[in-house]
Chain A
Amino acid sequence: MEVAMDPLFLAWSYFRRRKLQQCSDICTKILQDNPYDQAAWSLKTRALTEMVYIDEVEVDQEGIAEMMLDESFIAQVARPGTSLRLPGTSQGGGPSPAVRPMTQSGRPITGFVRPSTQSGRPGTMEQAIKTPRTASTARPVTSASGRFTRLGTASMLTNPDGPFINLSRLNLAKYSQKPNLSRTLFEYIFHHENDVKNVSVALYLQQKELVNITLQDFDCCNKNVLFHQALDLAAQATEHAQFRDWWWKVQLGKCYYRLGLYREAEKQFQSALNHQEVVDTYLYLAKVYQRLDQPVTALNLFKQGLDHFPGEVTLLTGIARIHEEMNNISSATEYYKDVLKQDNTHVEAIACIGSSHFYTDQPEIALRFYRRLLQMGVYNCQLYNNLGLCCFYAQQYDMTLSSFERALALVANDEEQADVWYNIGHVAVGIGELTLAYQCFKLALAFNNDHAEAYNNLAVLELRKGRIEQSKAYLQTAASLCPHMYEPHFNLSILCETIGDLQSSYTAAQKSEDAFPEHVDTQQLLKQLRQHFAVL
């Protein structure tokens, strides 16, 4: 006779093998039989959480609201080297914009795309809500809505017959007194339901010293009812709150962070660190400092963390990222090298060192790093694209075009395809195949209508053909798509100067100077124009 396995054990086994859907199905069955089975309830909660879990440390996307309505920064005009807000302030060490291209939002390109590499603050509201807010570069309105909601919606769609736990009917006070349930419940609410407000209510029950939290924070969440409930229940919870527990403090800090109360979050994280040194807490606290635009404090914190956890990869990576965001590429590369000493399969570190070598004129070394990535099993369009470029610039011509062919075969979306065509176009310009280059840039534009670099290069090719009107139109488009790029302004300036429109040339040259003040050619052009204006 077949002996059936204990369903709860089976579910637990599924959970450990990360077959979460099966795990949740079995738990549902158990709960149908016995709605008060706490173990099954807890396991199901965890399974549902794991389905949509994202690492809170890694996800950091500043929304429009946080960026434009930010009041937490200290200095409007920060000194160079103390702020993340000015993408252009380099303190040496990095290649100039003439060598290292920018992203669509005006930060120097890094080797590895993270949420924060897309940032670079828009100057005005207009700029913030304008495209390129296409799917690839869109900013969410707030970090609390955007990506979290988008990820959270997955669970909303899969549960057509209502949510698993009806939060509004939950007696949070009761659960808060059961430590074995309260943590899983918290994570469920936090990650699965994305309901920070409820979670914080749950937390107030845990933390007796926080009952007198400011009222208006809750008003803004439109959860007055819950808050009053919370207040009533808090009194009961205080009796049970024996909490000197760092875990709950960290969770409270996370909630504050999501609600945008950075100073409170900082307090919680610091107090958690006093109880127990945990790497995660350091990372969360550093995140808070980065959001408060205090990169130097964040760096110090990381170094302090490294004293307790020497050689910790995440901390080292954090330091490297901050250096990179402050445009200090050479020290970022140093730290990435430290990362590689600890973990020689760290993809981000390899990619960033590779790109840094590529842009400092050593493509043959960059090639090495990218090949290492290939050996590690990274197999995507971007990598082949980079390999192709490295091969071309390191004069290994036999491998160049085949890499691009593979990249084209591996493209996942139109943006990638546009980038590959753009790079092929670059190679074509390099070998003097202008017709091929022309076709490639046009293809790049066909796949990505906002590719400003392709517009710029196409304009130069059109100018060589003598089609001035077209060329001018393309340059104007490129300039309007990416106002932080200096190339279209400079090219437009040269074009206008050759056709004798000195006034337009001068204004364009001034814009180019704003985008890249150290550009020598722009300076010379401006000087020449000024002389021209002065001469009779």
Chain B
Amino acid sequence: MSESGSDGGKWLDAHYDPVAGLYTFSSCVDLADLSGDGESRLVVGDLGCGSYSMKLKVYRGTVLMSESTLLDLPAGLVAFFMDLHEPRIPAVAVASGPCIYVYKNLRPYFKFTLPGLEVNTLEQDVWQQVKEGQIDPLTLKEMLEGIRKKANIPLSVRSTRFLSLETSDMDAFVQLHNQQPIRRQTVITCIGTLKKSTADEDGVSCLVIGTESCDVYVLDPEAFIILSKMLLPAAPITMDVTGQFDVEFRITVACRNGNIYVLRRESDKPKYCIELSSHPVGLVRVGKNVVVGCTDESLQGFTQKGKKLWRIILPAPVITMAAMDLPTRGFQGVLVGLANCEVQLYRDKNLLSTFKTPNVVTSICFGRYGREDGTLIMTTKGGGLMMKILKRTAVFDDRDSAPGPPLAQSVRLNVPKKTKLYVDQTLRERENGLTMHRAFQMDLSRLRLATAKAYVKALESSLTPMSSSLSEPIKMNAVVQGLGPSFKLTLNIQNTAACRPIMNLAISFLYDESLYRMRNPYMRIPLLVPGLIYPVETFVECTSDKGISDIIKVFILHEGQSSPLLTAHINMPVSEGLMLS
């Protein structure tokens, strides 16, 4: 591939460890100078196996420098400056569940918990009564179910858990939990940082948190109080924040209802709304524009005010996205990790470069790592860690992405030549058109008659494997399995009516009794529900060792009627079991 060759010239393969055991997403990866020595570290919130061994990992160069256990699955991770102390060392905030754990110098520093949500008063009363022993768990269950149906404030986690329990486990659950007060909490879905008052690289930043309860909070970095609370129409998935809190800011949030909302300083309601045609996977801001990757394998560009600029189709579904920002060269682009093990780099809608990866990339992070400005860090689906360095000589130039007419246009179709024979025949057709037409019409009438006769005969003797009567539309097909002398006969019977079941049917067989023996030559069919295939099985034994086979006729009969509804002829295979022995 010429493209990969050219991109081999743009990236240096710095490090690849396919068994690094890093399972994470782009939102849990960040680069920061954690020790203030001018060397950037890689901070990763590792999801581990999903239920245990969640870790906060820090890499320096190619080695794992430190590792500390996380209590819950990380939803997002950011490095930010929380004070003005020297040396300038950023803190790391890990969002998991309803809490934010702040680490400073890689040691736990502070835990912030989101304020609880409003609890249904009825629910509270009920639990209070349980605590006082006024009602038993079964009554509690009934009451909670009533509340769940009617109330507009949803139940707490404890109540929903209780409702899902078996009756035997209820008592123990109530005993365990009735002393604690009821709380209703939400969880964090995404996290970002917002500069407080200065736009400096090392200015103090606020944390911006999106929650499952459709709220966006801005937290003060020193006191950890909520500076601002904004409400969204849906739960946020991923967000991008720009500006300063004290001056003017803009929070672009992609939400679970497939819309993107833009929040601004003045109002606590979204200012603009972008309605997408499918669910967003990733959102990246490039300059003043927003680039969104969607599940319909497309990449779309919008202005800050929600005007659509462009849309391109990608070769495979998007897995992850990240911004590639290289201020020293004034380059801004979007990296897109695709499901076909490719990573593509776009500037606006132009594809600049593509490179293959050994596995599907699940997270991408581009920035300063160590002392190198242009480092690309990726983790793969199998837990691998990959680092590439952008060459200083690499130049990305826009290629003209609008090709000419499609290639298929110039392919000649293989149309067979008209043979001389064909021309002769058309001449004959032209000359004798009338007689040919008459002959054909006459033959057709005769054939219609012959077909109708044969058809009526088939209908009268119910020869067809599907019943034509309107009251009992049934279809059957038979399958014979086995090598002999014992065969298994499976009759697949299906009721093809739209909604009416069929009852009172029976199966009987007609066969040469000197050749075959059948275990049960008369069977009753259960009620046939429309649309389902009912397999009816029986065993046939071939009693002859002469290598002869015969036809077995199957009849489906309606009780009380002598003529069959339908008939199937089974050509039995030759029995070979006796010959082999």
Contacts and interface: CB of A to CB of B under 8 A. Distances in A.
Interface residues of A, number: 63
Contacts of B258: 536
Interface stretch (A266-274, A295-303, A357-365, A508-516): A357-365
Given A364-B421, A401-B444, A534-B278, 7 more contacts: A129-B482, A134-B480, A401-B446, A436-B451, A442-B466, A473-B475, A534-B279
Given A397-B440, A405-B443, A405-B447, A476 B576 contact: no
Nearest to B428: A396
Contacts of B466: 442, 445, 474
B429 A395 contact: yes
A446 B419 CA distance: 40
A214 interface: no
B291 interface: no
A405 B437 CA distance: 17
A449 B568 contact: yes
B416 interface: yes
Contact of B440 (A157, A398, A442, A470): A398
Contacts of A477: 475, 477, 492, 494
Interface of B: 258, 276-279, 294-297, 416, 419, 421-422, 425-426, 428-429, 432, 435-437, 439-440, 443-444, 446-448, 450-452, 454-455, 458, 463-466, 473, 475, 477-483, 492, 494, 496-498, 530-531, 533, 546-547, 549, 568-574, 576, 579-580
A210 B155 CA distance: 87
A433 B448 CA distance: 10
Interface in A90-135: 129-131, 133-135
A134 B446 CA distance: 33
B463 A446 contact: yes
A62 B251 CA distance: 71
Interface string A143-158: 0011001100100110
B419 A362 contact: yes
Contacts of A141: 483, 576, 580
Contacts of B451: 424, 436, 439-440, 443
A129 B419 contact: no
Contacts of B279: 534, 536
Interface string A477-490: 10011000000000
Interface string A442-481: 1101100110000000000000000001101110110011
Contacts of B573: 131, 133-135, 138
Nearest to A138: B573
25 contacts: A131-B478, A131-B573, A133-B480, A135-B572, A149-B547, A149-B579, A396-B436, A397-B436, A398-B440, A401-B447, A402-B443, A405-B446, A436-B451, A439-B452, A440-B451, A443-B458, A446-B463, A446-B465, A474-B475, A476-B494, A477-B475, A530-B296, A531-B296, A535-B296, A536-B278
A136 interface: yes
B531 to A, nearest CB: 7
Contacts of B477: 449-450, 477, 480-481
B464 A442 contact: yes
Given A361-B416, A470-B473, A146 B422 contact: no
A70 B388 CA distance: 50
Contacts of B494: 473, 476-477
A280 B25 CA distance: 69
B539 to A, nearest CB: 15
Interface string A380-415: 000000000000001111101110110010000010
Given A397-B440, A450-B477, A536-B279, A145 B579 contact: yes
B574 A442 contact: no
B436 A398 contact: yes
A153 B547 contact: yes
B483 A398 contact: no
A461 to B, nearest CB: 13
Contacts of B576: 140-141, 145-146, 149
A288 to B, nearest CB: 23
Q: Which of A398, A404, A446: most chain B Cβ within 10 A?
A: A446
Q: Which of B416, B428, B446, B454: most chain A Cβ within 10 A?
A: B454
B480 A145 contact: no
B278 A368 contact: no
Interface string A62-74: 0010000000000
Given A439-B452, A481-B477, A535-B278, A153 B546 contact: yes
Contacts of B436: 396-398
A474 B533 CA distance: 12
B480 A365 contact: no
Nearest to A415: B571
Contact of A449 (B419, B478, B533): B478
Those 4 A-B pairs whose CB atoms lie nearest each other, nearest first: A534-B296, A401-B443, A134-B571, A398-B439
A194 to B, nearest CB: 10
Q: Which of B429, B450, B458, B547: most chain A Cβ within 10 A?
A: B547
B571 A136 contact: yes
